[in-house]
C-alpha cells in the first residue's frame, strides 16, 4: 500500500496533526510518513507526550516505526491490525494524559471487543485538555454516537512531575446513529472549582477573588458557585481552575496556573473562554469541536454547531480528508459555524 506523505506544518502545525494521523492510520491500515513535525514550536519535533502517543498507537496495532525518538521531526508509521486488549502507557513526565488518549482511544473504541487502557502522566497540563474535560465532556459525546466508553480519573497530577492516572474501558456498541448537535442553548448554571496542591493559600484566595471580579463584569453571566479544593494526593505544587456548565450539553473547560503566569493573566484567559462560550451558545465548545470530528466520522456522521473554525479543527479536517478523500463541509450560521461530518464509507478501507 502506498505511504501517505504528510506535511506536519499544515494548519496550526502542532501535535494535533500527528495525533489525528496516528488514529486514522491505525484504523484504516494506511501507512504514513510525516515530516516537519511541530516545526514552528519552541521545542520542535516529538516531545515526550507526542512520543508516548506514537509508541502507544504502534503497540495497539503492531506498527513498524522509523524516527520514533525525542526531538525527531520525521516519522514513518506502518500499521498492522489493531488488537483489543489491556494496555498500560506512561508519558514519563507530566505530559498530557488526555493528548495520549487522543491517539489510541478511537482505534480501540471502534473494535467490537472491549479494551482497557491506563495512561499515566499529567491530568492538568497547559495547552491541553484536562482529564475532567476528557471524562465529562468528550466521553459522553462519543457515547451518544454509539461508542461504549467508561473513564475514571484514578489520580490527578500536574505538568512537571505528573503522577496522574486515567483508566478507560472502551469498545463500540452494535449500531451507530447519526448525531446532530444544532440547537443553541444557554447553560443553566456554572460550577467553578479551584483545585490546588501545596499551593500558597494567599495566591489561591487571590485567584478566587479575581474570578469573582471578572465574572461580575459579564452582562450575560449565568448563576455560578465557586469552591476551592485541596488535593493532598498530588505530588507537585500547582493550581487548576475547572469550569463545569450544566444543561442539555454539559461542558468542562479550564485554566492551569503556570510558572511565570500571573494570577491576573490566568483569570483574564479564563474570562475570555467563558465570555466566548456564553456568547456563542453553541452546543459544541471550541476545544471539543476538533476532538469529535474523527469519532463522528467512524460512527454514523452528523452535524454540529460550534463557535467557529479553530486552527485545531481545520487541521483535523485536513488530515481526515487526506486519509479518506471524503469531505467535511462547513458553512457559516450567523456568528457560528455548522460542521457536517460524513459517514465513513467502508469500501474506502482497503
Cα gap 233→116, rounded to integer Å? 24
Vertex 46 angle, CA 41 and 48, to 5° = 110
Q: Which residue is catalytic, options 12, 35, 50, 312? A: 312
Contacts of 265 by beta carbon, 8 Å cutoff, 6+ apart? none
3-class DSSP string for the chain: CCCEEEECCCCCCCHHHHHHHHHHHHHHCCCEEEECCCCCCCCCCCCHHHHHHHHHHHHHHCCEEECCCCCCCCEEEECCCCCCCEEEEECCCCCEHHHHHHHHHHHHHCCCCCEEEEEEEECCCCCCCCHHHHHHHHHHHHHHHCEEEEEEEEECCECCCECEEEEEEEEECCCCCCEEECCCCCCCCEEEEEEEECCCHHHHHHHHHHHHHHHHCCCCCCCEEEEEEECCCCCCCEEEEEEEECCCCCEEEEEECCCCCCHHHHHHHHHHHHHHHHHHCCCECHHHHHHHHHHHHHCCCEEEEECCCCHHHHHHHHHHHHHHCCCCEEEEECCEEEEEECCCCHHHCC
Q: For residue 160, what is its C-alpha cell?
A: 512537571
- Nearest CA-CA partner of 18 in 45, 41, 27, 1: 45
Active site residue 287: no
Residues taking part in catalysis = 312
Amino acid at each position: 500500500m502506498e505511504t501517505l506523505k504528510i506535511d506536519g506544518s499544515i494548519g496550526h502545525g502542532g501535535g494535533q496533526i500527528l495525533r489525528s494521523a496516528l488514529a486514522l492510520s491505525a484504523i484504516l491500515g494506511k501507512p504514513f510518513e510525516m515530516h516537519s513535525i511541530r516545526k514552528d514550536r519552541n521545542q520542535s519535533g516529538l516531545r515526550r507526550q507526542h512520543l508516548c502517543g506514537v509508541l502507544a498507537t504502534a503497540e495497539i496495532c503492531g506498527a513498524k516505526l522509523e524516527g520514533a525518538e525525542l526531538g525527531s521531526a520525521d516519522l514513518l508509521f506502518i500499521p498492522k491490525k489493531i488488537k483489543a486488549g489491556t494496555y498500560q502507557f506512561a508519558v514519563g513526565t507530566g505530559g498530557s494524559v488526555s493528548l495520549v488518549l487522543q491517539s489510541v482511544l478511537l482505534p480501540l473504541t471502534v473494535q467490537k471487543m472491549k479494551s482497557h487502557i491506563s495512561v499515566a502522566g499529567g491530568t492538568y497540563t497547559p495547552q491541553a485538555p484536562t482529564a475532567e474535560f476528557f471524562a465529562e465532556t468528550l466521553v459522553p459525546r462519543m457515547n451518544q454516537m454509539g461508542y461504549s466508553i467508561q473513564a475514571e480519573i484514578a489520580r490527578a497530577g500536574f505538568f512537571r512531575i505528573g503522577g496522574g492516572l486515567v483508566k478507560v474501558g472502551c469498545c463500540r456498541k452494535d449500531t451507530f446513529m447519526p448525531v446532530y448537535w444544532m440547537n443553541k442553548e444557554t447553560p443553566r448554571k456554572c460550577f467553578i472549582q479551584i483545585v490546588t496542591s501545596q499551593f500558597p493559600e494567599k495566591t489561591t484566595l487571590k485567584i478566587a477573588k479575581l474570578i469573582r471580579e471578572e465574572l461580575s463584569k459579564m452582562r450575560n453571566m449565568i448563576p455560578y458557585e465557586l469552591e476551592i479544593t485541596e488535593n493532598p494526593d498530588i505530588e507537585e505544587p500547582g493550581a487548576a481552575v475547572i469550569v463545569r456548565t450544566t444543561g442539555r450539553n454539559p461542558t468542562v473547560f479550564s485554566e492551569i496556573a503556570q510558572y511565570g503566569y500571573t494570577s491576573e493573566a490566568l483569570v483574564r484567559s479564563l474570562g475570555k473562554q467563558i465570555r466566548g462560550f456564553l456568547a456563542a451558545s453553541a452546543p459544541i465548545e471550541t476545544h471539543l469541536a476538533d476532538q469529535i470530528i474523527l469519532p463522528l466520522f467512524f460512527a454514523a456522521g452528523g452535524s454540529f454547531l460550534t463557535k467557529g473554525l479553530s486552527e485545531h479543527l481545520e487541521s483535523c479536517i485536513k488530515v481526515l480528508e487526506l486519509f479518506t478523500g471524503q469531505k467535511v463541509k462547513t458553512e457559516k450560521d450567523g456568528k457560528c459555524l455548522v460542521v457536517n461530518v460524513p459517514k465513513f464509507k467502508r469500501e474506502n478501507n482497503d
